[in-house]
Structure 1
């Protein structure tokens, strides 16, 4: 699974949300600066070449749909980020968020409870 650019990832989130979409429908969902229609069409075709989406053809138009699930992408992306930025340590990930005050003590207690229930 190839890494996506930021713009490709943004477009994939829209496609995951819509489940099936024509380029004009994807364009309507973009909340940041909208690219030119042809640029967006190229991005979607790149996603298809990378194996993230496929399409159904209706004459000259294509309706795109995801081939890779959001969950599969998240799993791959998170595993890569944890390996590359946290020395493959989930403890380092949690420690990072605790130091940045992005996770509360209550959240940590809830995580501990979830872990203990799994055992």
Structure 2
């Protein structure tokens, strides 16, 4: 299943992933944008219709929780981005990442270490 989010849906999912779940009010207060309660509720209902979020009743409120893992969503989003922005070329994506002058030497070293580990797995 390809997982796809709008920007606003991704913001809401980020809150749910970070907290493990929450009511509409709890999600709303943790969002960077000041959205109306009904807007957050609509986003959560849309995510539920898509099968990405579920809920349980807690008194008068619904408590929403993620049904997809952040990792699975990240993989799906990355594949889409790789296809649309980098012509299905991981090399172009990597080139774009490492040419970003905002990366620190430590971040670059960690990336190199990850690549070296991956290369070691394939050789061994």
After TM superposition, the score normalised by the length of structure 1 is 0.86
C-alpha distance in 2, partners of 1:108/1:66?
29
Structure 2 SS opposite 1:62: strand
User: 5+ residue gaps in structure 1?
Assistant: none
Q: Distance in 2 between matches of 1:82 and 1:5?
A: 17
Larger deviation, residues 60-69 vs 105-114: 105-114
Contact 1:2 1:50 in 2 (8 A): no
CA gap 1:22/1:84 in 2 versus in 1, 3 angstroms: same
RMSD: 1.9
Q: Choose 56-65 or 75-84, whichever is displaced more.
A: 56-65
- Which of 103, 112, 117 aligns to 1:114? It is 117
In the TM superposition, residue 102 of structure 1 has moved relative to its aligned partner by 4.9
Question: Does residue 1:89 correspond to 2:89, yes or no?
Answer: yes
- Once the two structures are superposed, residues 64-109 of structure 1 have per-residue CA deviations (whole angstroms, 9 ceiling, x without a partner) of 1100110110000001111111111111111112333355563553
Alignment of 1:9-88 (within 5 A): 9-30=10-31, 32-88=32-88
Instruction: Encode CA deviations 1:10-38: one digit per residue, 9 max, x unaligned.
Output: 000000111121111112212x2311111
| Structure-2-length-normalised TM-score | 0.83
SS of alignment partner, residue 87 of structure 2:
coil
CA distance in 2, matches of 1:70, 1:21: 16
